[in-house]
Amino acid sequence: MERAYANLFAGRTAPPRYRKKFLADSFRYPQGFKLDGRQVYLPMIGWVEFWESRPIEGTIKNVTVSRQGQHWYIACQVEVDLPAPVHPASAAVGIDLGIALFAAFSDGAVHPPLNAYRRVEKKKACLQRKLAGMVQYSQNWKKHQQRIAQLEIRIANCRRHFLHQLSTETSKNHAVIVLEDLQVRNLSRSARGTMAEPGRKVAQKAGLNKAILDQGWGTFRHMLEYKQARRGGEVIAVNPRYTSQTCPACGHVSQANRPHQALFSCEQCGYSYHADVVAAINILAVGHTERLNACSPH
Protein backbone atom coordinates (compact mmCIF):
# COMPACT_ATOMS: atom_id res chain seq x y z
CA MET A 1 0.00 0.00 0.00
CA GLU A 2 2.87 2.35 0.76
CA ARG A 3 4.36 1.69 -2.68
CA ALA A 4 0.97 2.20 -4.33
CA TYR A 5 0.43 5.59 -2.71
CA ALA A 6 4.02 6.62 -3.41
CA ASN A 7 3.43 5.90 -7.10
CA LEU A 8 0.13 7.79 -6.92
CA PHE A 9 1.66 10.94 -5.41
CA ALA A 10 4.51 10.77 -7.94
CA GLY A 11 1.95 10.74 -10.76
CA ARG A 12 2.97 7.31 -12.07
CA THR A 13 -0.28 5.41 -11.53
CA ALA A 14 -3.95 5.60 -10.55
CA PRO A 15 -5.20 5.38 -6.95
CA PRO A 16 -5.23 1.88 -5.42
CA ARG A 17 -8.57 0.11 -5.45
CA TYR A 18 -10.15 -2.23 -2.94
CA ARG A 19 -9.73 -5.91 -3.67
CA LYS A 20 -12.96 -7.33 -5.07
CA LYS A 21 -14.36 -10.62 -3.90
CA PHE A 22 -14.23 -13.59 -6.31
CA LEU A 23 -11.93 -11.74 -8.75
CA ALA A 24 -8.38 -13.09 -8.97
CA ASP A 25 -8.85 -15.17 -5.83
CA SER A 26 -5.27 -16.02 -4.92
CA PHE A 27 -2.79 -15.40 -2.12
CA ARG A 28 0.87 -16.26 -1.63
CA TYR A 29 2.89 -17.48 1.35
CA PRO A 30 6.55 -16.43 1.06
CA GLN A 31 7.32 -18.10 4.37
CA GLY A 32 5.75 -20.04 7.24
CA PHE A 33 4.45 -22.92 5.10
CA LYS A 34 5.40 -26.58 5.51
CA LEU A 35 5.03 -29.58 3.21
CA ASP A 36 4.66 -33.11 4.55
CA GLY A 37 3.88 -35.61 1.84
CA ARG A 38 0.51 -34.68 0.40
CA GLN A 39 -0.28 -32.19 3.12
CA VAL A 40 0.69 -28.53 3.32
CA TYR A 41 0.61 -26.29 6.38
CA LEU A 42 -0.67 -22.81 5.57
CA PRO A 43 -0.38 -20.14 8.30
CA MET A 44 -3.76 -18.99 9.68
CA ILE A 45 -5.42 -21.99 7.97
CA GLY A 46 -3.64 -25.14 9.17
CA TRP A 47 -2.89 -28.44 7.50
CA VAL A 48 -4.61 -28.97 4.13
CA GLU A 49 -4.51 -32.08 1.96
CA PHE A 50 -3.83 -31.72 -1.76
CA TRP A 51 -3.42 -33.93 -4.81
CA GLU A 52 0.15 -33.89 -6.08
CA SER A 53 0.02 -33.65 -9.88
CA ARG A 54 3.80 -33.95 -10.24
CA PRO A 55 6.77 -34.54 -7.89
CA ILE A 56 8.16 -31.39 -6.28
CA GLU A 57 11.90 -31.04 -6.90
CA GLY A 58 14.33 -28.43 -5.61
CA THR A 59 14.05 -25.88 -2.82
CA ILE A 60 10.57 -24.43 -2.34
CA LYS A 61 10.67 -20.63 -2.20
CA ASN A 62 6.95 -19.83 -1.89
CA VAL A 63 3.51 -21.32 -2.42
CA THR A 64 0.52 -19.69 -4.12
CA VAL A 65 -3.06 -20.74 -3.46
CA SER A 66 -5.54 -19.79 -6.20
CA ARG A 67 -9.14 -20.47 -7.07
CA GLN A 68 -10.74 -21.40 -10.40
CA GLY A 69 -14.47 -21.89 -10.27
CA GLN A 70 -15.25 -24.22 -7.39
CA HIS A 71 -11.72 -25.66 -7.12
CA TRP A 72 -8.62 -24.46 -5.29
CA TYR A 73 -5.07 -25.02 -6.55
CA ILE A 74 -1.67 -24.73 -4.90
CA ALA A 75 1.48 -23.94 -6.90
CA CYS A 76 4.99 -24.21 -5.48
CA GLN A 77 7.79 -22.07 -6.85
CA VAL A 78 11.07 -23.97 -6.55
CA GLU A 79 14.73 -23.22 -7.13
CA VAL A 80 16.70 -25.88 -9.02
CA ASP A 81 20.26 -25.81 -10.36
CA LEU A 82 20.18 -27.03 -13.96
CA PRO A 83 23.03 -27.47 -16.45
CA ALA A 84 23.06 -25.52 -19.70
CA PRO A 85 20.51 -27.31 -21.92
CA VAL A 86 21.44 -28.73 -25.32
CA HIS A 87 18.53 -29.41 -27.64
CA PRO A 88 18.40 -33.08 -28.76
CA ALA A 89 17.06 -32.19 -32.23
CA SER A 90 18.70 -30.21 -35.03
CA ALA A 91 15.76 -29.52 -37.35
CA ALA A 92 14.22 -26.11 -38.02
CA VAL A 93 10.60 -25.44 -38.89
CA GLY A 94 8.47 -22.48 -39.93
CA ILE A 95 4.89 -22.22 -38.68
CA ASP A 96 2.02 -20.30 -40.26
CA LEU A 97 -0.87 -19.70 -37.84
CA GLY A 98 -4.40 -19.27 -39.11
CA ILE A 99 -8.09 -19.88 -38.55
CA ALA A 100 -9.08 -22.46 -41.18
CA LEU A 101 -5.95 -24.37 -40.10
CA PHE A 102 -4.53 -23.59 -36.70
CA ALA A 103 -0.94 -24.29 -37.78
CA ALA A 104 0.73 -25.24 -41.05
CA PHE A 105 4.34 -26.39 -40.83
CA SER A 106 7.01 -25.88 -43.46
CA ASP A 107 7.59 -29.65 -43.61
CA GLY A 108 4.01 -30.14 -44.88
CA ALA A 109 2.28 -31.04 -41.62
CA VAL A 110 -1.02 -29.28 -40.94
CA HIS A 111 -3.02 -29.13 -37.71
CA PRO A 112 -6.75 -28.31 -37.73
CA PRO A 113 -8.08 -25.89 -35.11
CA LEU A 114 -9.79 -27.00 -31.93
CA ASN A 115 -12.36 -24.15 -31.82
CA ALA A 116 -13.07 -24.79 -28.15
CA TYR A 117 -15.43 -21.84 -27.84
CA ARG A 118 -17.30 -22.47 -31.08
CA ARG A 119 -18.26 -25.96 -29.93
CA VAL A 120 -20.20 -24.74 -26.91
CA GLU A 121 -21.12 -21.24 -28.09
CA LYS A 122 -24.83 -22.03 -28.45
CA LYS A 123 -24.94 -23.75 -25.06
CA LYS A 124 -23.32 -20.76 -23.36
CA ALA A 125 -25.72 -18.34 -25.08
CA CYS A 126 -28.67 -20.44 -23.89
CA LEU A 127 -27.38 -20.40 -20.30
CA GLN A 128 -26.83 -16.64 -20.43
CA ARG A 129 -30.36 -16.01 -21.72
CA LYS A 130 -31.74 -18.11 -18.88
CA LEU A 131 -29.62 -16.20 -16.38
CA ALA A 132 -30.97 -12.87 -17.66
CA GLY A 133 -34.51 -13.91 -16.73
CA MET A 134 -33.68 -14.80 -13.13
CA VAL A 135 -33.90 -12.60 -10.05
CA GLN A 136 -30.47 -11.06 -9.65
CA TYR A 137 -28.39 -12.32 -6.70
CA SER A 138 -30.98 -14.98 -5.79
CA GLN A 139 -29.77 -18.46 -4.88
CA ASN A 140 -30.80 -19.91 -8.25
CA TRP A 141 -29.12 -16.96 -9.99
CA LYS A 142 -25.86 -17.70 -8.15
CA LYS A 143 -26.03 -21.43 -8.94
CA HIS A 144 -26.70 -20.72 -12.60
CA GLN A 145 -23.82 -18.25 -12.72
CA GLN A 146 -21.54 -20.98 -11.38
CA ARG A 147 -22.65 -23.24 -14.24
CA ILE A 148 -21.63 -20.59 -16.76
CA ALA A 149 -18.30 -20.13 -14.98
CA GLN A 150 -17.65 -23.87 -15.09
CA LEU A 151 -18.38 -23.89 -18.81
CA GLU A 152 -15.89 -21.07 -19.37
CA ILE A 153 -13.26 -22.91 -17.34
CA ARG A 154 -13.89 -26.03 -19.44
CA ILE A 155 -13.35 -24.01 -22.63
CA ALA A 156 -10.08 -22.60 -21.30
CA ASN A 157 -8.88 -26.04 -20.15
CA CYS A 158 -9.63 -27.65 -23.51
CA ARG A 159 -7.80 -24.89 -25.37
CA ARG A 160 -4.82 -25.03 -23.00
CA HIS A 161 -4.62 -28.83 -23.30
CA PHE A 162 -4.61 -28.62 -27.10
CA LEU A 163 -1.92 -25.94 -27.14
CA HIS A 164 0.25 -27.81 -24.62
CA GLN A 165 0.16 -31.01 -26.67
CA LEU A 166 1.06 -29.31 -29.94
CA SER A 167 3.72 -27.02 -28.44
CA THR A 168 5.39 -29.89 -26.58
CA GLU A 169 5.52 -32.08 -29.68
CA THR A 170 6.87 -29.20 -31.78
CA SER A 171 9.48 -28.23 -29.19
CA LYS A 172 10.78 -31.78 -28.82
CA ASN A 173 11.33 -32.30 -32.55
CA HIS A 174 12.70 -28.89 -33.62
CA ALA A 175 15.66 -26.90 -32.32
CA VAL A 176 14.70 -23.72 -34.20
CA ILE A 177 11.08 -22.59 -34.56
CA VAL A 178 10.17 -19.59 -36.70
CA LEU A 179 6.79 -17.93 -36.12
CA GLU A 180 4.92 -14.91 -37.41
CA ASP A 181 5.17 -11.86 -35.19
CA LEU A 182 1.40 -11.46 -34.97
CA GLN A 183 -0.10 -8.53 -33.08
CA VAL A 184 -3.29 -10.22 -31.88
CA ARG A 185 -4.59 -7.05 -30.23
CA ASN A 186 -4.44 -5.17 -33.53
CA LEU A 187 -5.86 -8.07 -35.55
CA SER A 188 -8.86 -8.42 -33.22
CA ARG A 189 -9.58 -4.70 -32.94
CA SER A 190 -13.25 -3.78 -33.25
CA ALA A 191 -14.48 -2.30 -36.54
CA ARG A 192 -17.59 -0.70 -35.05
CA GLY A 193 -16.29 2.86 -35.44
CA THR A 194 -18.10 5.92 -34.11
CA MET A 195 -21.44 7.63 -34.66
CA ALA A 196 -19.85 10.10 -37.06
CA GLU A 197 -17.81 7.45 -38.91
CA PRO A 198 -19.43 4.02 -38.47
CA GLY A 199 -17.43 0.96 -39.41
CA ARG A 200 -18.04 -1.32 -42.38
CA LYS A 201 -18.90 -5.03 -42.22
CA VAL A 202 -19.05 -4.90 -38.43
CA ALA A 203 -20.81 -8.27 -38.03
CA GLN A 204 -18.27 -10.05 -40.24
CA LYS A 205 -15.36 -8.45 -38.37
CA ALA A 206 -16.92 -9.41 -35.02
CA GLY A 207 -17.11 -13.04 -36.14
CA LEU A 208 -13.50 -12.89 -37.35
CA ASN A 209 -12.35 -11.41 -34.03
CA LYS A 210 -14.15 -14.17 -32.15
CA ALA A 211 -12.42 -16.82 -34.29
CA ILE A 212 -9.00 -15.19 -33.81
CA LEU A 213 -9.33 -15.03 -30.03
CA ASP A 214 -10.57 -18.63 -29.94
CA GLN A 215 -7.28 -19.91 -31.38
CA GLY A 216 -4.88 -18.77 -28.64
CA TRP A 217 -1.97 -17.71 -30.87
CA GLY A 218 -0.31 -15.65 -28.15
CA THR A 219 -0.51 -18.49 -25.63
CA PHE A 220 0.93 -20.93 -28.19
CA ARG A 221 3.90 -18.65 -28.83
CA HIS A 222 4.49 -18.18 -25.09
CA MET A 223 4.45 -21.96 -24.56
CA LEU A 224 6.93 -22.51 -27.37
CA GLU A 225 9.27 -19.83 -26.01
CA TYR A 226 9.58 -21.19 -22.49
CA LYS A 227 9.71 -24.83 -23.61
CA GLN A 228 12.44 -24.06 -26.13
CA ALA A 229 14.39 -22.13 -23.49
CA ARG A 230 14.10 -25.13 -21.18
CA ARG A 231 15.38 -27.52 -23.88
CA GLY A 232 18.04 -25.23 -25.32
CA GLY A 233 16.16 -24.38 -28.51
CA GLU A 234 15.29 -21.08 -30.14
CA VAL A 235 12.11 -19.28 -31.20
CA ILE A 236 12.32 -16.54 -33.85
CA ALA A 237 9.44 -14.17 -34.62
CA VAL A 238 9.52 -12.58 -38.09
CA ASN A 239 7.44 -10.05 -39.97
CA PRO A 240 4.66 -11.95 -41.81
CA ARG A 241 4.41 -9.38 -44.62
CA TYR A 242 4.11 -10.95 -48.09
CA THR A 243 4.88 -14.47 -46.78
CA SER A 244 1.59 -15.76 -48.23
CA GLN A 245 2.14 -14.04 -51.62
CA THR A 246 5.78 -14.98 -52.30
CA CYS A 247 6.67 -17.98 -54.43
CA PRO A 248 9.30 -20.12 -52.68
CA ALA A 249 10.52 -21.45 -56.04
CA CYS A 250 11.15 -18.26 -58.03
CA GLY A 251 10.60 -15.48 -55.49
CA HIS A 252 7.81 -13.78 -57.43
CA VAL A 253 5.56 -11.67 -55.16
CA SER A 254 1.99 -11.01 -56.21
CA GLN A 255 -1.45 -11.05 -54.65
CA ALA A 256 -2.64 -13.06 -57.66
CA ASN A 257 -0.40 -15.96 -56.58
CA ARG A 258 -3.11 -16.94 -54.11
CA PRO A 259 -6.32 -17.38 -56.11
CA HIS A 260 -8.05 -19.24 -53.27
CA GLN A 261 -7.73 -19.36 -49.51
CA ALA A 262 -6.13 -22.83 -49.48
CA LEU A 263 -4.30 -22.77 -52.85
CA PHE A 264 -1.05 -21.11 -53.88
CA SER A 265 -0.31 -21.00 -57.60
CA CYS A 266 2.55 -18.86 -58.90
CA GLU A 267 1.50 -16.94 -62.01
CA GLN A 268 5.11 -16.71 -63.21
CA CYS A 269 6.64 -20.18 -62.78
CA GLY A 270 3.49 -22.28 -62.19
CA TYR A 271 4.54 -23.58 -58.76
CA SER A 272 1.45 -24.81 -56.91
CA TYR A 273 1.03 -26.07 -53.35
CA HIS A 274 -1.04 -25.60 -50.19
CA ALA A 275 -1.15 -21.87 -49.44
CA ASP A 276 -0.58 -22.14 -45.68
CA VAL A 277 2.36 -24.52 -46.13
CA VAL A 278 3.89 -22.12 -48.67
CA ALA A 279 3.56 -19.32 -46.15
CA ALA A 280 5.29 -21.50 -43.53
CA ILE A 281 8.14 -22.21 -45.99
CA ASN A 282 8.60 -18.49 -46.59
CA ILE A 283 8.48 -17.79 -42.84
CA LEU A 284 11.27 -20.32 -42.29
CA ALA A 285 13.35 -18.70 -45.04
CA VAL A 286 12.91 -15.23 -43.54
CA GLY A 287 13.82 -16.53 -40.09
CA HIS A 288 16.91 -18.27 -41.45
CA THR A 289 18.04 -15.04 -43.14
CA GLU A 290 17.53 -12.99 -39.97
CA ARG A 291 19.41 -15.58 -37.95
CA LEU A 292 22.39 -15.46 -40.31
CA ASN A 293 22.41 -11.64 -40.29
CA ALA A 294 22.35 -11.63 -36.50
CA CYS A 295 25.29 -14.06 -36.29
CA SER A 296 27.43 -12.44 -38.99
CA PRO A 297 30.03 -9.86 -37.88
CA HIS A 298 29.40 -6.21 -38.87
Q: Quick one: pLDDT at residue 296?
A: 67
Mean pLDDT of 59-75: 92
Q: Quick one: pLDDT at residue 141?
A: 94
> How much of the chain, in percent, has pLDDT values that exceed 70?
99
Q: Kindly list the structural domains of the chain, giving each domain's residue range(s) and its CATH number in brackets, ordered by start.
A: 2-79 (no CATH), 92-295 (3.30.420)
Q: Is this model's pTM higher than 0.75 or not?
A: yes
Q: Which of 79, 180, 225, 234 is catalytic?
A: 180
Q: Which amino acid is at 245?
A: Q
Q: Quick one: pLDDT at residue 261?
A: 84
Q: Quick one: pLDDT at residue 73?
A: 94
Give the containing element (helix H, strand E) for 111.
strand 110-111
Task: Give me the sheet containing 234-238, strands edge to edge.
Answer: 110-111, 103-105, 92-97, 176-180, 234-238
CB 86 within 8 A of CB 102: no
* pLDDT value at 19 more than 80: no
Q: Quick one: pLDDT at residue 61?
A: 95
38-69 exposure pattern, b = at least 16 Cβ within 10 A, e = fewer: eebebeeeeeeeeeeeeeeeeeeeebebeeee
Q: Quick one: pLDDT at residue 262?
A: 87
Q: Quick one: pLDDT at residue 298?
A: 58
Q: Quick one: pLDDT at residue 99?
A: 94
Q: Quick one: pLDDT at residue 24?
A: 75
Mean pLDDT of 115-121: 94
**What's the rounded Cα separation, in Å, for the pair 20 and 231?**
40
96 given a catalytic annotation = yes
Top-ranked range on mean pLDDT: pick from 20-29, 164-173, 266-275: 164-173
**What's the rounded Cα separation, in Å, for the pair 159 and 92?**
25
Q: Quick one: pLDDT at residue 191?
A: 80
Whole-angstrom CA distances from 277 to 262, 265, 283 are 9, 12, 10
* pLDDT value at 297 more than 70: no
* pLDDT value at 68 more than 90: no
Across all residues in the chain, what is the average pLDDT? 92
Q: Which of 96, 107, 121, 152 is catalytic?
A: 96
**What's the rounded Cα separation, in Å, for the pair 176 and 286?**
13
Q: Quick one: pLDDT at residue 219?
A: 96
* pLDDT value at 294 more than 80: no
- Pairwise pLDDT comparison (91 vs 293), residue with the higher score: 91
* pLDDT value at 22 more than 80: no
Can you say how many angstroms the Cα of residue 102 is from the centroid of all Cα atoms in its chain? Answer: 12
- Please enumerate in sequence order all residues whose Cβ is within 8 A of that of 8, keeping only pairs 6 or more positions apart, or say none: 14, 15, 16
Whole-angstrom CA distances from 229 to 60, 177, 218, 224, 253 are 22, 12, 17, 8, 35
Q: Quick one: pLDDT at residue 196?
A: 77
> How much of the chain, in percent, has pLDDT values that exceed 90?
78
**Which residue, 286, 90, 111, 292, is CA-closest to 176?**
90
180 given a catalytic annotation = yes
Whole-angstrom CA distances from 210 to 113, 167, 185, 191, 216 are 14, 22, 12, 13, 11
Q: Quick one: pLDDT at residue 33?
A: 94
Mean pLDDT of 224-243: 95
CB 125 within 8 A of CB 134: no
